[in-house]
Amino acid sequence: MSLNAFNAGCNILAYKKNQKSYGMCAAWAQMLDYDVVSILIGSQSLTGLHLAKGDIVGISSLASNQAAIALRFGEFHSDEIDKFHDIKTTLIDTAIFIEEAKVCMKCEVIDLIHFDFSPNDIFAIFKVLSYDELAAKRFLALSDL
């Protein structure tokens, strides 16, 4: 299918759990309300498989100059390489943020849904607890990669 119905961005979902850092790049993210966002997570994602309701995570919507970060987080699994090596991050509680991202959101996982049409994928819903935005930066679009 070649439909591109929405502008897809590059968003890094990242957190620390059980002494391990998890991170993934997700293009399919959406605001559901003023303080609720969602990400569709593929079944192959180790980051998604370790999520649980109540987890505190970071979501960093990358800036236009961060394509290399998007590619690194999108091409490998968390058990294959250290995705965070040589990338400037900030850890707050268990949430990991990519420094200089356009938007960084500290979120709580409030629901994890499996749809009948795609039962292995996870539709993760997050409550935004706080955020920082760099207004002068432009979002990195999937089409920029």
Q: What is the pLDDT along the chain (145 residues), one digit of tens a residue?
A: 455 656 678 999 999 999 999 999 998 899 999 999 999 998 888 899 999 999 999 999 999 999 999 999 888 777 788 899 999 999 999 999 999 999 999 999 999 999 998 888 999 999 999 999 999 999 998 888 8
pTM of the predicted structure, to 2 decimals? 0.92
d(CA 22, CA 53): 16
Domain housing 104:
11-134
In a domain, 72, yes or no: yes
| CATH code: domain of residue 30 | 2.30.110.10
User: How many domains would you assign to the chain?
Assistant: 1
Amino acid letter, residue 129? L
CA 108 to each of CA 3, 18, 76, 111: distance values in angstroms, whole numbers, following the listed order: 31, 17, 25, 9
In a domain, 144, yes or no: no
pLDDT at 6: 63
Q: What is the pLDDT of residue 145?
A: 83
Query: Is residue 127 domain-resident?
Result: yes
